[in-house]
Amino acid sequence: AKMNKALLGQMIKMWQTDMQTPESVLLASVVGSPTGGEEHDTQFKRRVAELFDQIDADGSQSLDVDELVDAFKTLGMAQVTGESINALLVKYGYEENEEINLNSFEEIVRGLAQTSFQFTGYEAVEDLTLQQLQVLCKHEWAVEKKADGEGGLALNKSATANVIRAPSAVNRRTSSAALGMDENYVQGFKLPDMEDMDAMKKFV
């Protein structure tokens, strides 16, 4: 059991290394957690709306790239550029230089902030939530096939040095089918039922 917990802890750290960015950590500190029940969600939406109003310098009810760059720099991210903001927009399914409204801004902030609150790093396999299991199962790891050739993820010995950067989730404008991908597989392994917690625990 201790070994399983240690391996899970390693997986979580690798996931956090892959998924967290300075921007996501910073935003999480400003707006808080987007998860944790209705009260948390209400507080999160209020903080995001307040941040949106602060960034919306011209009162247009939309944010452009320049406003987002200025906002991140004001928050302490001096290295943020128009290119990095455009990359973020594209990651979440928007066009480069596209102006975003409050709903779109909330979608992006929620996705970024969630990476900081998805795991504590002290979870046990049996305590993982449905969402946590889904995140771990769908993530792309440095893997090797099990000796018996069956499905399942097995971190290889050099996994920490060879983590494959996970692509962003398929965005709202591009389907897996259009990309020639089978969303039921990850790195050649057939995913379990994403609603079956026992199956996902075995897969992880």
- Per-residue pLDDT tens digits for 54-81: 999 889 999 999 999 999 898 888 888 9
Closest CA to 12 of 185, 139, 171: 139
Query: What's the pLDDT tens digit per position in 180-194?
Result: 345 566 656 677 777
Q: What is the pTM of this model?
A: 0.60
Q: How far is it, in rounded angstroms, from Cα 58 to Cα 69?
A: 15
Amino acid present at 151: G
Backbone angles phi, psi at 34, to 5 degrees: -85, 0
